[in-house]
C-alpha cells in the first residue's frame, strides 16, 4: 500500500483524471443519436469527408465495401475525449498482394492527412482509417454510414473500470517516460537510450494489442493506453523518440 501511494504521489491527480471518462454513459451521445437513429445531417457530412478521403488516397478502381462509424461515439463509452472513428472497408489485395506493403502506404497517407487537416464535427475530431476486409473488429458498436443501419448495435453492459489497477500499470510507464526525459537532457549514450525508448513504446503498444485481442476495448491494457494518450504521455514518448534520434546526429 505504501509503495503504491509513493508511485501515485509522483504524479498530479489531474494526470489520472481521464480515468473518469472510462465509466459508461446511460445513453448514446444525444447530439449524434436519437433513439439509435443517426443524425441525418451528420451522416451526410461524415460520408462526404469519407469520399474526400477516398479521393485523397489516389487509388484507382478500388471497390469500397462499406464506410462505418465505430468506436466510443457508436457506443456508451463516449466522453469529451471521443472522436468520430470512420473506417473505410475494402479488400487491400485490390491494391497489391503484399498486404503489409499496402498497410504501410495507407498508414503514411493517414499521417499526412492528419497533418493537413483538423476536422471537427459537433466538437469531436474526425479520424479516418482503412480496414481490410474480414478484419476482426473489437468494437461492440458498428454503424454502416453507407446503408444507414446498425451492423452491431451496442448494448449497455455492467462494466466498471478498475481505477486502482489502471493507475498502477499506467504509473509505471509514466515514471519510466519521465526518467527517459531526464536522461535525454544529459545527452549520454543516446543510442542505448533510443533502444530503451523503443522497448517501452513497444511494450505499451503490444500490451494494448494483447488486451484488445483477449478482453476487448474494456481491457486494462487498452484503458492504460487511453489514459497515457489522454494525459499526454503517449505524445511525450513519441517526442522523446524523435529527440533522441535527432540528437545522435548533432
Q: Are residues 138 and 63 located together in one domain of the fold?
A: yes
Q: Of 86, 117, 152, which residue constitutes the final position of a domain?
A: 152
pLDDT of residue 71: 92
Q: Which residues of the chain have pLDDT under 70?
A: 1-9, 137, 187
Measured between its terminal Cα atoms, the distance across the chain in Å is 45
Q: Of 152, 180, 213, which residue constitutes the final position of a domain?
A: 152
Could you count the other beta carbons within 10 Å of the beta carbon of residue 161? 18
Closest listed residue to residue 45, CA positions, set 61, 66, 67: 67
What is the Cβ-side half-sphere exposure of residue 245, based on CA atoms within 13 angstroms? 8
Dihedral sign from CA coordinates of 88, 92, 95, 101 = positive
pLDDT of residue 150: 98
Q: Are residues 17 and 102 located together in one domain of the fold?
A: no
Q: How many domains does the chain have?
A: 2
Q: Spell out the residues 6+ positions from residue 66 whose beta carbon is closer than 8 angstroms to its own.
A: 89, 144, 145, 146, 147, 151
pTM surpassing 0.75?
yes
Q: Are residues 13 and 55 located together in one domain of the fold?
A: no
Q: Are residues 35 and 123 located together in one domain of the fold?
A: yes
Q: Are residues 100 and 180 located together in one domain of the fold?
A: no
Q: Is 15 left (phi over 0), alpha (psi -120 to 50) or beta?
A: alpha
Closest listed residue to residue 29, CA positions, set 123, 146, 160: 123
Q: Are residues 71 and 135 located together in one domain of the fold?
A: yes
Q: What single-letter DSSP state applies at residue 157?
A: -
pLDDT of residue 4: 52
Q: Are 86 and 46 in contact (CB under 8 A)?
A: yes
Amino acid at each position: 500500500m505504501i509503495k503504491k501511494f509513493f508511485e501515485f504521489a509522483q504524479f498530479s491527480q489531474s494526470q489520472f483524471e481521464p480515468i473518469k471518462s472510462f465509466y459508461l454513459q446511460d445513453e448514446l451521445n444525444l447530439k449524434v443519436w436519437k433513439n439509435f437513429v443517426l443524425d441525418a445531417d451528420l451522416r451526410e457530412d461524415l460520408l462526404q469527408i469519407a469520399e474526400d478521403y477516398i479521393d485523397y488516397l489516389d487509388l484507382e478502381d478500388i471497390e469500397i465495401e462499406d464506410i462505418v462509424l465505430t468506436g466510443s461515439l457508436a457506443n456508451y463509452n463516449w466522453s469529451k475525449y471521443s472522436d468520430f472513428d470512420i473506417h473505410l472497408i475494402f479488400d487491400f489485395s485490390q491494391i497489391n498482394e503484399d498486404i503489409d506493403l499496402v498497410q504501410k502506404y495507407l498508414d503514411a497517407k493517414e499521417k499526412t492527412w492528419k497533418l493537413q487537416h483538423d476536422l471537427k464535427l459537433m466538437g469531436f475530431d474526425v479520424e479516418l482509417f482503412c480496414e481490410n476486409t474480414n478484419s476482426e473488429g473489437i468494437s461492440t458498436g458498428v454503424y454502416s454510414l453507407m446503408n444507414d443501419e446498425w451492423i452491431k448495435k451496442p448494448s449497455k453492459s455492467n462494466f466498471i473500470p478498475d481505477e486502482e489497477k489502471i493507475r498502477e500499470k499506467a504509473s509505471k510507464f509514466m515514471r519510466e517516460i519521465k526518467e527517459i526525459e531526464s536522461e535525454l537532457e544529459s545527452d549520454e549514450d543516446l543510442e542505448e537510450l533510443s533502444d530503451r525508448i523503443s522497448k517501452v513504446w513497444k511494450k505499451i503498444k503490444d500490451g494494448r494489442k494483447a488486451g484488445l485481442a483477449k478482453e476487448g476495448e474494456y481491457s486494462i491494457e487498452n484503458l492504460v493506453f487511453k489514459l497515457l494518450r489522454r494525459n499526454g504521455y503517449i505524445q511525450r514518448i513519441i517526442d522523446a523518440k524523435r529527440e533522441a534520434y535527432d540528437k545522435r546526429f548533432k
